[in-house]
Amino acid sequence: MKLHGPALRLTVFIGDTDTWHHKPLHHEIVRRAHAAGLAGASVFRGMEGYGASNRVHTTRILSLSEDLPVAVVIVDTEEQIRGFLPQLDELIGEGLVILDEVEVIRYAGRTPGSAGGR
């Protein structure tokens, strides 16, 4: 499927120590997104943040955290993303999910050095 134009971005904020059946939760979210045929998913680890606990987690050496923030970002059509939400209900015990309307511009099939058609 070629995704281009209006889409929905799903961002899931969790901790890097969150698990699902003894495996990282972010891994299970990406696995299920892939199995559901969603257009793409990426996982980003935060350097610092806080959430519902109001406790700051950071990578700074003097206050090393064992639960850094993680964001799983998935982009697809609104129909596909909304269809995926029930899976998150099953997986996430504590976290934050946000949905944003976005516009996708996809670059694919270009060869190196062909930028700008030169």
3-state secondary structure 12-31: EEEECCCEECCEEHHHHHHH
Rounded CA separation 46/68 (Å):
6
Q: Is 84 or 94 the better-scoring residue by pLDDT?
A: 84
8 and 101 in contact (C-beta within 8 Å)?
Answer: yes
Fold category of 5-105 in CATH: Alpha-Beta Plaits (3.30.70)
- In which band, very low, low, confident or very high, does the pLDDT at 46 lie, cut at 50, 70 and 90? confident
* Average pLDDT of the segment spanning 37-66: 72
Q: What is this structure's pTM?
A: 0.80
Domain ranges across the chain = 5-105
Rounded CA separation 14/21 (Å):
16
Beta bridge partners of 99: 10
